[in-house]
Amino acid sequence: MSPSALEFAGVSKWYGQVAAITEVSLRIGPGVTGLVGQNGAGKSTLMKLACGLLRPSLGQVRVNGGSPDRVATRRQIGFCPDLDRFYERLSGRRFVTWMLRASGLGRSAAATRAGEVLERLGLADAMDRQIRGYSKGMRQRVKLALTLAHEPAVVLLDEPLTGLDPVARHEVGELVRGLGHGGAAVLVSSHVLHELQAFADLFVLMHQGRIVAEGALAELRAQLAERPRRLALRSDQPRRLARRLCELDQVSAVEIDARGVVIETTGGAQLSQRLTALGAESGLVRELLPLDDSLEAVFGYLVES
Amino acid sequence: MTVYGRGYRPFTFEPTSPRARLWAVAELELRTLFRTRLGLMAFLICLGPSIANLGILLIFSGVWRVGASPERLRSWPRTNPEAIDFYLQPIIGDVFAFVIFLVLTSLVSCRAIAKDRESNALELYWTRGVGPRGYFFAKWLGSVLLLGSAFVVAPAVTWLLGVLMAPDWGTLERTIEFVPSVLLALTVFTAVISYLAVAFSAVAATANTATVFWFFLLLGTAAATRVLSLVFVDEWWFKALSPWDAAKRVAEWICGYVPRRDYNPAIAVLSLVVVVGVLTALALRRLRRAEAVG
């Protein structure tokens, strides 16, 4: 097992009578882990427990073996909250400098560091302007600068893509991927599942305060082996293709749409061979696309089940 | 610097003390007022009493000749630079002083923590090696330093200028006995009032709520003591019900000033201890991590 930078051992958290997290046990090592769940699933609570903002009602949270209650442990954590929390009249540079000083950097080291990080995050021209004039994307970058400036070993990003334009989303995705490749343990929650899928290696799926599945996407899909897979077959002759597909035992349902045929199947490699042969023989199949191997589909199936 | 890409590693922190971390928070608070023109103007207005005192000193020392002689200025304690009233009353004595304190504490101290809670900025501190108690202390320290610059440093500088501008060392000889204790009294007064305001700020949900309640506390209790003065004709202990009056009585006691409406300073101390204790307990409860971010 890879070393776990962040560990939850039987963690439950109640707000009064309401259970936000129930018996969560999880180990997160270096790399990017995506945290997926609907609103109220417990994602933010999990993040806050990880960075010591909340204490578990039951169980233990460990960051590199230490309690997040300790200052020394919190220095190893970078937390990017989901809302904008700024001093609007400070410039981006001053704000990051001040927060670095509160983290334990000296005055000049903090100023230098803040400038470097903001420059890396593309705010070189705007870092000396007041934050109140920043766009949503620029604010997001300031938050990321606050999170990453001290190069924490554990990075917790709560909805880091919110409000970003497509270019900025891509850049942030690359940045997060780079952190993971560099050895940091990154836990990212996001509603933009297809983007999360692009830069996360592992996924933790939460529903109603519990972890319903964890692992790489292929592993998660494999856990749903009994569930029929949906495949789209692009064809110029969908009716003829549908007739041929109905003859196959492994195909349990066939639908015709504008661009071809969608089938549901429990067949594995054998069916793939038959479909490939079908395409080669008659030219009926131009393209084959899996429809439910995406994170969204897997999450949807797991929540349903 | 390896924010991107491989080679990612935890940053090596300098061995800074908790004091340095808290000082960063205090310094941020200290500069709050000077980030806006309105704040700067408010601060300059709050320097009004000290600037007026400086004018009197210039006349008293003969630097500024406008007709009033030093003898004439000496005839009224409030304009006599060699009397304790000259330094004490402009800061804590009259209605103008009360209004100035009310304005400055409303703009700074009683918004200090509430505005951070309002924007959920407390999360940023709690994840950065600054705990609730240290944060509260740092906010108070920043507030005291800001208020102290107007209500302690400014009178001290005024006195120093007066001494240096005087034709001889007579002013120094006649004031050195009481000025240090007056400055100590003003420091204690500023510290107590700003503490109450910051504690209010920690308890309130929003900055505006804190400001409104702070106004009600100071004005309401001051009004209540006025009403009680109609009931208790020769007794003045009830003035301790007003935190402002209680802090003022303690300050007067520290510098040995006997007010016209005198009462036992122990009652004032007791009153302040109760208010400070209750507010501190409430503030620390409200600043608990789960409470603050839940």
Digit-coded pLDDT (tens) for A94-146: 999 988 888 878 888 889 989 988 988 888 899 999 998 988 888 888 888 88
Q: In B, which residues are within 8 Å of A87 by CB distance?
A: 28, 121
pLDDT above 90 as % of chain A: 18
A interface mutation test: which of B1, B2, B3, B32 has the most A CBs within 10 A?
Answer: B3
Q: Is the pLDDT of residue A86 over 80?
A: no
pTM for the model stands at 0.78
Q: Is the pLDDT of residue A231 over 90?
A: no
Cβ within 8 Å, pair B127-A53:
yes
> Which of A22 and A238 is assigned the larger pLDDT?
A22
Q: In B, which residues are within 8 Å of A71 by CB distance?
A: 18, 129, 131
Q: Are A206 and B26 in contact (CB under 8 A)?
A: no
Residue A57 exposed, middle or buried by CB count within 10 Å (0-12, 13-18, 19+): middle
Tell me the shortest Cα–Cα distance from B129 to chain A, in angstroms.
Answer: 5
Q: In what order do the strands lie in the sheet with A6-15?
A: A18-28, A6-15, A58-63
Across the interface, of B2, B13, B125, the residue whose CB is closest to A75 is: B13
Question: What is the separation, in whole angstroms, between the first and last Cα of chain B?
Answer: 35
Q: What does the buried/exposed string (b/e) look like for A109-135 if buried means 16 or more CB atoms within 10 Å of the residue's CB?
A: bbbebbbebbebbebeebbeebbeebe
Residues 6 or more apart whose Cβ sits within 8 Å of residue A297: A230, A291
Average pLDDT, integer, range B278-283:
94
Which tokens in the block code for residue A125? 């021209």
Q: Is the pLDDT of residue B8 over 70?
A: no
B interface mutation test: which of A57, A117, A151 has the most B CBs within 10 A?
Answer: A151
> Which of B43 and A229 is assigned the larger pLDDT?
B43
Digit-coded pLDDT (tens) for A180-226: 888 889 999 887 777 788 888 888 988 888 888 888 877 777 766 66
Q: What CA–CA distance (Å, rounded) separates A217 from A225?
A: 13
Q: In B, which residues are within 8 Å of A79 by CB distance?
A: 123, 127
SS3 A204: strand
Q: Is the pLDDT of residue A272 over 80?
A: no
Q: In B, which residues are within 8 Å of A77 by CB distance?
A: 127
pLDDT band per the 50, 70, 90 thresholds, residue B6: very low
Digit-coded pLDDT (tens) for B32-81: 888 888 889 988 988 888 888 888 888 887 777 777 777 777 878 888 88
Q: Are A140 and A172 in contact (CB under 8 A)?
A: yes
Task: Report pLDDT for B7.
Answer: 42
> Which of B112 and A257 is assigned the larger pLDDT?
B112
Asked if the C-beta of A69 comes within 8 angstroms of chain B's C-beta atoms, the answer is no
Residues 6 or more apart whose Cβ sits within 8 Å of residue A2: A29, A30
B interface mutation test: which of A53, A55, A154 has the most B CBs within 10 A?
Answer: A53
Query: Chain B neighbours among A 148-187 (CB < 8 Å)?
Result: 148-153, 175, 178-179, 181-184
pLDDT band per the 50, 70, 90 thresholds, residue B291: low
Tell me the shortest Cα–Cα distance from B211 to chain A, in angstroms.
Answer: 19
Q: Is the pLDDT of residue B4 over 50?
A: no
Average pLDDT, integer, range B151-166:
88
Q: Are B165 and B81 in contact (CB under 8 A)?
A: no
Q: Is the pLDDT of residue B146 over 90?
A: yes
What is the CA B77 to chain-centroid distance, rounded? 24
Name the average pLDDT for chain A: 83
Tell me the shortest Cα–Cα distance from B27 to chain A, in angstroms.
Answer: 9
Tell me the shortest Cα–Cα distance from B216 to chain A, in angstroms.
Answer: 28
Tell me the shortest Cα–Cα distance from A252 to chain B, in angstroms.
Answer: 47
